[in-house]
Amino acid sequence: MTAAIGHTSILLALLLALWGMAAPIIGHRTGKAVFFTATRAAILGQFALVTLGSLALIYGLVTTDFSIQYVANNTTRATPIYYRVTGLWGALEGSLLLWEWILIIFSGLVAWTYKDRHRELMPWVLMIFSIVSAFFLGVIAFASDPFATVFPPPPDGRGLNPLLEDANMMSHPPLLYTGFVGLTVPYAFAMAALIVGRLDEAWIVTTRRWTIIAWFFLTMGNLVGAWWSYHVLGWGGYWAWDPVENAAFMPWLPATAFLHSVQVQERRRMLKAWNLSLIMVAFSLTIFGTFLTRSGVLSSIHAFSNGPVGTIFLAFLAVILLASFGLLAYRADLLKGQPQLDSMVSRESAFLLNNVVLISALFTIFLGTIFPLISEAVAGTPVSVGAPYFNSATVPLFLALVFLMAVGPMIAWRRASWDNLRRNFLWPAVASLIITLALFLGWVREFLPLLGVMLCAFVVTSILFDTALAVRARRRLAGEGIFRALGTLTGRNQRRYGGLIVHLGIVLIALGIAGSMSYSVEREATLGRGETLAVGKYKISFQGLRASEQPTHYRVEGAFQVHNNSRDIGLLSPALKFFPNQQSPVGRAVHRSTLTEDLYLILSGFSELEKNRATLKVLVRPLVAWIWLGGAVIALGTLVAVWPFKRQLAAGREEQPVLEAVAEG
């Protein structure tokens, strides 16, 4: 019954999606508004039906209804209840259903939010949503059915992939999928603007907050994924340039470029075609990432198994690219006659350069990701490029981005005067040079880490200096205290100050990556009970092995007493987990984190339990915690940028340009 309810709801939702595709066209040709109303009703109907289907699959997982093949493959009777729920996105069929569920939630929110606005655009916006929804529903209904049944039902299931039995898997896929799907909103509005030929700034202003939210979820999805890789996979790293990691990261790059370049269009009415192209590329990359993850064309620990859906996604990607850029070419005449750059020394030039660097990084990562496919097509043998390629190609680009983070928000629009440059950048540059010199005289001698620190210091001091000038101006004009002035400035220009906070978060991440990549220490040794391994200031003493039976696996833990210099910091117990359906054990690394460094222990192997000998790998990684702290700061900045604070009335708005002028000099 559960499978029948789920599959029927998907089929009915597919019919509504097809109707949602046709209704705007019929309405446009007949001029009858009822068809536009029907488009919104189709979206809301899909929302109800897909929600019913998703809840049906969750119900099947929770109740271990092994008559459903997907349930039998991804849960067991011993699986804890929360892992049964996460089984919804634990494999191919369920993850597509989750994707469709999030998509139709976004569609419903857009339909409800703009039910009385954008009457010209909305039918086409909802039609684009219905096209994407129809594609996913068709795949779910006919190519990758999560409600397929099996008879007779097995007495027990096979269970989740052991690597997915982690608390972070409750958040990582939903965050990432929300980011992917969120990009459908600006893409749908962009396509609607092209269809009706209204290519002014209206669609950008409408989707600004949606785009920021999608970008935030993409960022958090990647960061949580890095955290999962760090503490679950047990290799001591957080990013391996894995093809699926790259697939998740690539949409972030054009989305970030889009968030910057739309400001140029809003302010100067430039880059219209460029902005449309960026959001098309960003959305297309979400489909491309799905193709990579689900086609089996590339090997990855994150990928789902081979299946027919890969070819279907590739065909859909081709349709998206042809239709989107074909429509852009069709409307090319409406995109001519835009203003030109007044000067290369201006904010719009800095944002444009920021876009060039981001797209260069995207191309570099894209090329490295698909290189095995190219080499196989040309030479017959897939050849992978590893981390050295990605690091050497992207590090200079990301350093350039850090520099532009300092310059872009502070330099003047149109044409920066010498006085503007001196006022905004002289003291931050001097301060960053002093910090760099102090580090050089202290202990940092390598060029790239020093350059990275100097650029990060330049960003931070530029932001602090600019904010201090604005607060001082506010105090002079309005007589407010420091904190009230800061609050007033932030409330009246949320996007600017939210963006500056986000930049601070990215600086923390950059410093964390630089520190952990450049100054990690690693040692491995086999120890008997009572023996000690010294790594830097740490001494790790092996206390013995112990085994335990867990609900889904058998676990062997090594107990290691850790001292930092002479201070006892406790017992750490890395483990190996043995699952019935896995040939190799799954590691469970442990680590002790501080703001300055992480101590990371991996149990690489052990002798028979009674012999009490274990092979231990120890890593000391500086500044890793700064990466996760940066994520929290980015979340704060995004909240500041999008939160609907109550704005001041006209007097306040009229005052802001004066304050900005004073701050910018």
- Over residues 589-643, the pLDDT tens digits come to 899 999 999 999 999 888 876 778 899 999 999 999 999 999 999 999 999 998 8
Instruction: Please report the pLDDT score of residue 648 as a whole number.
Output: 47
| SS3 label, residue 75 | coil
Instruction: Please report the pLDDT score of residue 417 as a whole number.
Output: 86
Instruction: Catalogue the E-assigned strands of 183-222.
Output: none
Ranges of residues in the chain whose predicted pLDDT is under 70: 295-307, 609, 646-665
Residue 368 half-sphere exposure toward CB, CA atoms < 13 A: 24
List beta partners, residue 590: 601
Q: What is the DSSP letter of 241?
A: -
Q: How far apart are CA 495 and CA 501, in angstroms?
A: 10
Q: How far apart are CA 187 and CA 175, in angstroms?
A: 19
Instruction: Please report the pLDDT score of residue 651 as a whole number.
Output: 46
Q: How far apart are CA 622 and CA 34, in angstroms?
A: 62
Q: Token digits for 593?
A: 């984190």
Q: C-alpha distances in angstroms, 66 versus 152, 158, 404? A: 9, 10, 55
CB–CB of 538/560 below 8 Å?
no
Strands 613-622 and 521-528: antiparallel
For residue 467, what are the contacts with CB-CB under 8 A and spacing of at least 6?
Answer: 486, 489, 497, 500
Instruction: Please report the pLDDT score of residue 305 as a whole number.
Output: 55
| SS3 label, residue 29 | helix
Instruction: Please report the pLDDT score of residue 53 as a whole number.
Output: 95
Instruction: Please report the pLDDT score of residue 595 as a whole number.
Output: 93
The secondary structure of 380-431, three-state, reads CCCCCCCHHHHHHHHHHHHHHHHHHHHHCCCCCCCCCCHHHHHHHHHHHHHH
What is the Rg, in whole angstroms, of the alpha carbon atoms belonging to the chain?
A: 27
Q: How far apart are CA 618 and CA 542, in angstroms?
A: 12
Sign of the CA dihedral running 268, 270, 274, 279: positive
Tokens 């010199």, located at residue = 437
